[in-house]
Amino acid sequence: MAIPVRNVSAPGFGDDPIVKTDTRAMTVTTALFFMVGFLTCLNDVISPHLKSIFGLNYTQTQLIPFFFFSSYFVFSYPGGALVDKIGYKKTMVAGLFIMAAGALGFLPAAHLAAFPIFLCALVVLAAGMTVVQVAVNPYVTIIGPTATAASRLNLAQAFNSVGTFIAPFIGTYLILRTAPEPVSPERLLSMTDVARQAYRVTQAATVQMPYIAIALGLALLALALAAIKLKTTNTAAELTQDFRPGAFAEALGPQASIWKQKWALLGALGIFTYVGAEVSIGNLLISYMGLPEIAGMREAVAGEFLMCYWGGAMVGRFIGSAVLQKVRTGIVLGFAAVCAGILILISIKTSFTSGVITTYPMHLMHWQWTVVIPHSLPMWTMLAVGFCNSIMFPSIFTLGVQDLGPLTSKGSSLLIAAIVGGALIPLSQGKLADHIGLHPSFIIPAICYIYIACFGFASLRRLAARKTLVPVEPV
């Protein structure tokens, strides 16, 4: 029979015996968040590059995030089972080695210039990232006070955003700028089979060296993590040795199912819509900025402006980490989602001005004002959505796993599996863009933010955490 003790695995569950954050553990996790962010955002540079190499349409281009983020759905449950079996630390090490193997898969893909092999390499890479995230997200929530779990996860996710901020610059410089000038789809179709394949091999070769460096970096990080002994401030805990988040779930009886936890399910839908919207926008931004009526930028130039999208998320997470110390998570999440939706609608509306400066006369207090809408407004409003995205994932995740107790690892797996939204929503937008145009297709991300806003504001009416003690796993 399990002994009732206080649960240290669920943020916001009750009084927290851990009064100080483990700084060494936080340092390790921020490094992992950085690598995950860097590699995820690098897809936004790879996507337009592969689009030009293989002459893909929008739907085919969105197969890149589809296969990448489908891995989160497929491998999240095995990742959670791996955490249950070998613990957080060993799971993170295993995930890093899988990521390295996926990065090496880009070598044969580029050598053969085969789009399916690129997709397979992305699946392996994403599988490793899934395993890492299933372990690292709940790990951050338990290495310090539960009252500041959302703030701590936002801080760690801020370094994820540092990776996403740097990735467009490095990817553009090493991949897009070193590649020969891409030819038009019409010119590509007019080539002979031999000439077309030679062109693709030359273009694809630019991804080889960057991904060799990435594979080496991931392997070194895995070895370094394996050599570090992490301890929590609670001397009774050793989270790096056989920590099994779900080991004692059976003590709660057959009713203790993750599928009966309403807020975990709502949080999973929130992760689904958020990741889908963020990925869909990021993956199409370079193409969006390349449209003549938006900015008419070349890929190499637009790739640098992509830094503004991810840089906004980085700055917002550092700010959000501080704001969430004072303001309830639901309020901040709801407000950010409302702002994101409004910015997208403004971008859609003003994108039909066909590249001209639009003026609107206004009368206010007997004064006549003229509001000038520059032709670049659709681009900047879409880029500004990145700042609104900043606090969404960690906030939704924290609200989703809150008060789950021994079901925390299963809740984490469920929420990570919901990242499959990054596969399905971009593919849906790609299909819509092929039918009605790229501008209006952004209504899909706008709808996603409506749900996130509702979830955030609804959480304000959530019942307070239970004060009773429940059986939990020994740590």
Transcribe 150-186 into DSSP letters.
HHHHHHHHHHHHHHHHHHHHHHIIIIITTSPPPPPHH
Determine what percent of the chain is predicted with pLDDT higher than 70.
81
Work out the pLDDT band at 475, boundaries 50, 70, 90: very low
Question: ∠ CA(188), CA(189), CA(191), 5° rounding?
Answer: 70
User: At residue 451, does pLDDT exceed 90?
Assistant: yes
Token pair for residue 189?
């179709």
pTM for the full model?
Answer: 0.71
| pLDDT confidence of residue 441 | 93
The predicted-structure confidence for 368-382, as pLDDT tens digits, reads as follows 544 445 567 888 999
Quick check: is 432 in a domain? yes
Lowest mean pLDDT among 149-163, 188-202, 227-241: 227-241
Lowest mean pLDDT among 205-214, 278-287, 379-388, 408-417: 408-417
| pLDDT confidence of residue 219 | 93
| Rounded average pLDDT over 379-391 | 91
Provide CB contacts within 8 A for 124, sequence distance 6+: 98, 101, 102, 105
Structural domain boundaries enclosing 219: 22-229+261-462
The predicted-structure confidence for 62-98, as pLDDT tens digits, reads as follows 888 899 888 878 887 788 888 888 888 889 899 999 9
Work out the pLDDT band at 474, boundaries 50, 70, 90: very low
Give the chain's end-to-end CA distance (angstroms, integer). 16
| pLDDT confidence of residue 396 | 93
Under 8 Å between Cβ of 300 and 127 = no
Token pair for residue 50?
């592969």
Quick check: is 234 in a domain? no
List the CATH number of the domain containing 113. 1.20.1250.20
| pLDDT confidence of residue 230 | 64
Average pLDDT for the chain: 79
Provide CB contacts within 8 A for 194, sequence distance 6+: none
Phi, psi for residue 358 in degrees, rounded to 5: -105, 135
Pairwise CA distance, residues 110 & 228, whole Å = 35
Lowest mean pLDDT among 6-20, 134-148, 268-282: 6-20
DSSP letter (8 states) at residue 3: P
Quick check: is 247 in a domain? no
Pairwise CA distance, residues 117 & 121, whole Å = 6
| pLDDT confidence of residue 124 | 94
Higher local confidence (pLDDT), 386 or 467? 386
| Rounded average pLDDT over 90-118 | 92
| pLDDT confidence of residue 73 | 80
Alpha-carbon torsion, ordered 190, 193, 196, 197, to 10 deg: 170
Alpha-carbon torsion, ordered 132, 137, 140, 141, to 10 deg: -150
User: At residue 411, does pLDDT exceed 60?
Assistant: yes
Number of domains in the chain: 1
Quick check: is 373 in a domain? yes
Quick check: is 220 in a domain? yes
Work out the pLDDT band at 352, boundaries 50, 70, 90: low
Amino acid in the structure at residue 56 = L
Query: Which of 64-73, 212-221, 222-231 is predicted most confidently?
Result: 212-221
The predicted-structure confidence for 354-371, as pLDDT tens digits, reads as follows 444 444 455 544 555 444
Phi, psi for residue 355 in degrees, rounded to 5: 80, 15
User: At residue 336, does pLDDT exceed 50?
Assistant: yes
| pLDDT confidence of residue 464 | 52
Quick check: is 6 in a domain? no
The predicted-structure confidence for 191-208, as pLDDT tens digits, reads as follows 888 888 888 888 888 888
Quick check: is 475 in a domain? no
Quick check: is 350 in a domain? yes
